[in-house]
Amino acid sequence: MRVGDIYVFYDHDETYKKVKIINVRGYEQIEMTGIQEKYVEADVVDFEYTDSSTRKKYGSELYQSKRFRKIDREPHCWSCKDNLNEKTDHICPTCGWIVCPNDGGCKCDKP
C-alpha cells in the first residue's frame, strides 16, 4: 500500500467507498477491546474520498486487507459488456461493484 494508490474500502457503516491513500503512518500500537485487552501493531492508513454530495472527506483506518481492495482490474459490465474503469467509474455503496456508466448496472441488478 502506497500513497496515491486507489482502493475500494468497506466502511464500518457497511457501505463501499473508493478511497485514495494519502498517508501510511506505519506501525502503531492499538488497544483492542473485547473479552481480553491486548495490543497489536498495525499500519494506520489515512485516506480521502468524495461523498454523495461531491464533498471531499477524510478518514483513517487500521489497515486490514479484507476491508481494502486495490483497484487494478480491467472489468466489463455483466449486462451490456461495455468496458468499465474502476479508477474513474462510480462504485455502488451497497454491493461494492462498479456502476456501469452506460446502463447503470451493478451486482444489485444482476439476476
> What Å distances lie between residue 78 and 89, 92, 102, 107, CA to CA?
15, 14, 12, 9
**Together in a domain, 6 and 46:** yes
For the chain, the domain total comes to 2
Give me the sheet containing 56-62, strands edge to edge.
56-62, 38-50, 16-32, 6-10, 68-70
- Segment 40-98, tens digit of pLDDT: 566 788 888 876 667 788 888 877 667 788 877 778 898 899 999 888 888 888 988 88
Q: What is the DSSP letter of 22?
A: E
**Together in a domain, 34 and 65:** yes
The pTM is what?
A: 0.63
**Together in a domain, 51 and 86:** no
**Together in a domain, 66 and 16:** yes
How far from the centroid of its chain's Cα atoms is residue 24's Cα? 15
Contact 49, 18 (CB under 8 A): yes
**Together in a domain, 40 and 77:** no
Does residue 28 surpass a pLDDT of 80? Answer: no
**Together in a domain, 57 and 17:** yes
- Domain limits at 107? 73-111
**Together in a domain, 33 and 47:** yes
Report CA dihedral (52, 53, 54, 58) to the nearest 10 degrees.
-80
